[in-house]
Amino acid sequence: MLNNYLNVRGYTLSLCQDLQNEDFGLQAEEFVSPVKWHLAHTTWFFETFVLVPHQKSYRLFHQDYSFLFNSYYNNVGERVPRAHRGLISRPTVKEVFAYRKYVDAAMSSLLEDGDEGELADLVTLGLHHEQQHQELLLTDLKYNLYFNPLRPSVNDIGEYPNLYEEDWIEMPSGMHKIGFQGEGFCYDNELGFHEVFLEPYAIADKLVSNADFEEFIKDGGYRNSNFWHADGWAWVLQTGREAPLYWEKNQDSYSVYTLQGTKALIPDAPVAHVSFYEAAAFAEWAGYRLPTEFEWEAAAPSFDWGSRWEWTQSAYLPYPRYQKAPGAIGEYNGKFMINQMVLRGASVATSPHHSRVSYRNFFGPEAQWQFSGIRLVKDH
């Protein structure tokens, strides 16, 4: 457990190694957070939920940090308004690194003494929580730096994995087991292991590519309301979008902002940074549809996944017998089960070993700043 703790915590720092001090505080919109806040908030989680209740001799690093770096845990005191996170210039980056070091030392000492039962569960939860913030740290950072006309490079995480042959995987009708079962960690939203009856369907073994999506654009996809949900069409009209986030039109081609700065679009790479509205409109235009999250989970062992979070046509709802845990930790998932769509899989920005076939990611239908892509399904 201690090794695992140190690995995950160290990976967070490794994501920041090419940043300037000034980059840590950026917050371009309310829905993204500064890197500094991610660094401190994940640390606050261990301090508040592990060290304070389980380490008698522990003394808070700073009494104000609980207020400054709490997030949506309404049960744990007041919070800095989300839109103001970028305004907290002090504590400085250096002080936040010191905070991490202080908490890591206390955690190391605690974990050396043993890691049984509830303590182990809490630490595991904290590490998965930190891994989620690792991905957000990257996607938020990309979004924040995009507002700089100089379009800086962030790190060397490649956005474009290799691809496989295109084919349809046939799935017969029948009962399928859904949700997490067995050993190891999962989130509360994966529990309620249950059976679902599915009609027959076929699912693509590869993701929609940039070239595919460019065809949609050229065919007037963003100008024909018939392809869109009513809310999706309103979103197009209001935002004026004509391509995925980060795409920039040149004369006859597109370039795209990546974690290495602005680059030419790679046609064969899977499209990224599309909203659910765009994913659904593309599927409609192509004559197919998105999978349900159950269809995705049932077929996932038969295809490669992991370079893009894949939009499903399932709303984010509780599984049967879903119970929220009592107290602050329990706020975790149930409270978000409205106005969100499920994404399955993982992305190039997801931390190693963080996802699994039953993992349920979720965002509002307009979200584009994650590495989100499209897999198609057809009915029989």
**Beta carbons within 8 Å of 356's beta carbon, 6+ residues apart:** 180, 186
Which residues, 102 to 131, sit near its own copies by CB under 8 A?
A: none
| Minimum CB distance to its own copies, residue 230 (Å) | 4
Burial of residue 82, with CB atoms counted within 10 A of its CB: 0-12 exposed, 13-18 middle, 19 or more buried: middle
Question: Can you tell me which of 1, 318, 354, 357 binds its own copies, judged by CB under 8 A?
Answer: 318
Please provide residue 311's backbone torsions phi and psi, each rounded to the nearest 5 degrees. Answer: -65, 135
Question: Can you tell me which of 2, 205, 336, 354 binds its own copies, judged by CB under 8 A?
Answer: 336
Q: Is 340 helix (H, G, I), strand (E, B) or coil?
A: coil
Q: Is 189 in the site for its own copies (CB under 8 A)?
A: no
- Please tell me the number of Cα atoms within 13 Å of 164 on its side-chain side: 12
Alpha carbons 165 and 308: distance in angstroms, whole number:
17
Entry field: residues in the chain: 380
| Minimum CB distance to its own copies, residue 259 (Å) | 15
Q: Is 179 in the site for its own copies (CB under 8 A)?
A: no
For residues 266 to 305, the per-residue mask of contacts with its own copies, x marking binding by CB under 8 A and - elsewhere, is: ----------xx--x-------------------------
| Minimum CB distance to its own copies, residue 170 (Å) | 16
Based on CB atoms, which residue is closest to its own copies, 116 or 230? 230
Of 93, 94, 80, the residue nearest 30 (C-alpha):
80
Alpha carbons 222 and 281: distance in angstroms, whole number:
9
Which residues, 208 to 267, sit near its own copies by CB under 8 A?
A: 225-226, 228-233
Residue 223 near residue 354, CB atoms below 8 Å: no
Question: Can you tell me which of 10, 13, 30, 84 binds its own copies, judged by CB under 8 A?
Answer: 84
Residues that bind its own copies (CB under 8 A): 20-26, 28, 64, 67-68, 72, 74-75, 80, 84, 86-90, 92-93, 144-145, 147-150, 152, 175, 194-197, 199, 225-226, 228-233, 276-277, 280, 313-315, 317-318, 320-321, 331, 334-339, 341, 365, 379
